Amino acid sequence: MSNPVLLIADPNTARLAALIRRCEARAGVTVLGAATPGEAYMLIESHLPRRVAFSAEFAEAVEFDGLADILTMIDADVSIFGPLRHRTGRHRQFATPDEMLAHLFGGLQPARGPLRAEAPAAPASGPVGSVILMGASTGGITALETVLSQFRADCPPTLIVQHIRPGFAEGLVRRLDQLLTPRVVAARDGDPLQRGTVYLACEADRHMGLIMRGGPRIRMIAGAPVSGHRPSVDVLFSDGAALADRLEVRAALLTGMGADGAQGMGALRRAGGLTIAQDRDSSVVWGMPRVAAETGAASEILPLSRIGKTLLTRESQRLRRMS
């Protein structure tokens, strides 16, 4: 099994470098360092650290609570070292870096295996005439929470591809299911789409798409990465485009690096679907939505706060042409 990953976050770069050097002699573990909230977010998302230690200065930053919430999703142990101006009982606290390091390395076991997938969704109780598709990467977890917080218990079935490392997606499913009104589940091959359900692509070795077989269903597709990713947003959006003559399809491409999703979104727009890209100001990284905007794939470019309501209320080009 892979080595457990530990993360130390400290804006004092000299102290951070010294702490990392002290950890280098430890065998069987991987120790990473972050000097800014952005660096910490990227490392958390890409490496799923087992334990994370924040300096007091870092823990008093406005971004700390959001990072700590993400770590809760993956069951990471969070501690703080150094004197805090405002003490908190939420996380274990240590007065010195020495005490923190002793805790960080104490009693480590081999890396956790992946969680088992969710149980299959129950069959849909009625016909599904519309579907919402979303894709995101860097910064996408918070963006998804913002968009989905506006969804009702009877929202259209919603399929999401979020670029994250294996093992992280199951924790995201649990968190979103606890926070949101709709039910959130891990997508499974053959699942019939239901209103009021959000499906997250959790299988790192398969793409997620759509197929019509007695109504719209999830299909999980083996294959090479597309646009550099598996699962790929482009695959999901392309499947949506193929079904846009039979379904009302609405899609949003949220914050993230690269271009995954832009090509599929272009196909979906040409097929008559509603296509939305997150705007620059509200994106953590304006990469994927930027490409969609610049290539004309997005019919609308909106701030994050407006995307959820628009997905729920705006008609697609196809329906507008039919009305």
* Residue of 10, 191, 260, 279 marked catalytic: 260
Residues 83-92: what's their mean pLDDT?
75
* Residue of 10, 163, 191, 207 marked catalytic: 163
Q: CATH no. for residue 317?
A: 3.40.50.180
* Residue of 137, 282, 283, 299 marked catalytic: 137
Cβ within 8 Å of residue 69, ≥6 positions away:
175
CA neighbours closer than 13 Å in the CB half-sphere of residue 293: 16
CA distance 273 to 249: 5
Note the pLDDT of residue 2.
55
Average pLDDT, rounded, for the chain: 87
CA distance 30 to 229: 25
Domain match, 97 and 178 both? no
Beta bridge partners of 248: 130
- C-alpha closest to that of 60 among 16, 100, 33, 91: 91
Note the pLDDT of residue 243.
96
pLDDT digits (tens, 9 = 90+) for 244-258: 999 999 999 999 999
pLDDT digits (tens, 9 = 90+) for 152-177: 999 999 999 999 877 678 888 888 88
Q: Looking at the domain assignment, is residue 204 inside a domain?
A: yes
Predicted TM-score (pTM) of the model is: 0.70
Note the pLDDT of residue 320.
52
pLDDT digits (tens, 9 = 90+) for 15-59: 999 999 888 777 678 889 999 988 898 888 777 788 899 999 998
| Chain centroid, CA 6 distance in Å | 21
User: Can you give the residue range of the structural domain that contains 257?
Assistant: 130-322
Domain match, 298 and 173 both? yes
Q: Is 260 one of the catalytic residues?
A: yes
In the structure encoding, which two tokens stand for residue 307, read together? 């995307």
Q: Are 218 and 212 in contact (CB under 8 A)?
A: no
pLDDT band at 213 (very low <50, low <70, confident <90, very high): very high
pLDDT digits (tens, 9 = 90+) for 92-128: 899 999 999 888 888 665 444 443 344 444 434 557 8
- The count of domains in the chain is 2
Domain match, 213 and 308 both? yes
Domain match, 188 and 300 both? yes
Report the chain's terminal Cα–Cα distance, integer Å: 58
Q: Are 91 and 60 in contact (CB under 8 A)?
A: no
198 or 315, which is more confident: 198
Q: Is 163 one of the catalytic residues?
A: yes
Domain match, 170 and 253 both? yes
Of 38, 72, 105, which residue sits at a domain end? Answer: 105
Q: Looking at the domain assignment, is residue 115 inside a domain?
A: no
Q: Are 217 and 191 in contact (CB under 8 A)?
A: yes
Note the pLDDT of residue 205.
94
Q: CATH no. for residue 28?
A: 3.40.50.2300
Q: Looking at the domain assignment, is residue 119 inside a domain?
A: no
Domain match, 143 and 87 both? no
Q: Is 137 one of the catalytic residues?
A: yes
Residues 207-231: what's their mean pLDDT?
95
